[in-house]
A and B are shown apart, each in its own frame.
Chain A
């Protein structure tokens, strides 16, 4: 099969796991258009029109798309079902590959980029090519996205990256008690030799609710402990979607499901017997 690609690849990314509904139309690693709607937490109402508007603004016909990507969560259960169902059905009806990405990874990338004043356009090359190492020798920073999951819990994960790199995952997405999560991070930091420690540790996303708990890391990190409140943007979702799709990665369409990170309450009760 001739795999030569003549025209630039255009992809559509969306994420509805948080209060902000985001859509991005990408050409290779570059953002053509994005939509972000936070007015009403009713993503089922505005998702398709947001997609239509983003495509229109980008001047891209839906039949020109080469792939669809969606945040699979974690986050609002209803929200991630809206995004995943939409992406799966669009991919099925347009006969395109579909790729899921972590909504926390997108939140982490966007928040860290904002906190370190790196424009998201700067990651275009990183999203298209084999992951180019960042600025040689520059020490990695830690990125810890937070989404409130109520009752002292957060959806969170741990990533590291040097400027210019897309974050690499160190810990899986999960729902964790914020206090215990901070203790675990403290233990991990303390176990590193001082010179191997991250130059900065960024908490991003819903930091307003959980920032106080993270202050427990201040003695270890001093000025290296950073907070960047951040609402997801289309560009971050677009980069992570493009990264997977452009690398030729996709998910099995019929079995792509949200990453809830936990059983439903009824199932959990059942397992407890």
Chain B
């Protein structure tokens, strides 16, 4: 879309940089894991996206220990104000990821948050240890560039993952096992499909998590309109998109009250207002998922819009984070 040429210096851009543990991000917008294959995007949209990624930190698809084909099709369907997916974590496995994909991702001019998923505590520990040993030979200050996200919340695999993240004791044990072998930033990504997300968040922090990502998709089901049978090959899937935003906001709000570590908020983010809402509820970093499917550049536009909103409202970023918890605004008419 063409826009009028305005000198970039015409307006003072507020400082959008944020710290997430040892990582420093240029702005608070990143992608949700599994929603952006940046290397494949470069095939289609040109290599420019690798030199100027729209996200301040790139989060690749969750890596598993072994290669995995993923779930049987059909895997996606649009739903009212969003979509449902049951992809099932297809991937090349740790070894190929480290040898073939990781070097190209480390060349990106932004932070990198590697997502891992497993079926047991041992698998998470092996993945974290494997990535650590690959990175420590890369450069000495890698912890300033690369973090780890433990995906203990994928709804589309039938063991491990979300079943771990649904139980505080298992969450604590898995996060602690990763913590032993991973010295860098450690984020625990939580499922919304629990009764008390605060308890899970506290367990993750107790296990050594430096930050909480909230939330993964909501488990759902869609019916084939012709056959009236479940539409997805895997029967159930994860619902995402604007439809889940109020549900996700409530959970981010509760995580903020439960723990003091930074929160990566996500769930239906599609507009600048959504970014403001998530940050007000407690997110220091905001991830875009499904909305990037229709617009691969949306994270950059949201960061620009956030800068504008901060300037217009006379806020700095630190004031915005958690604003919704600071009591009712008095004197409103």
- Report if A and B associate in a common complex: no
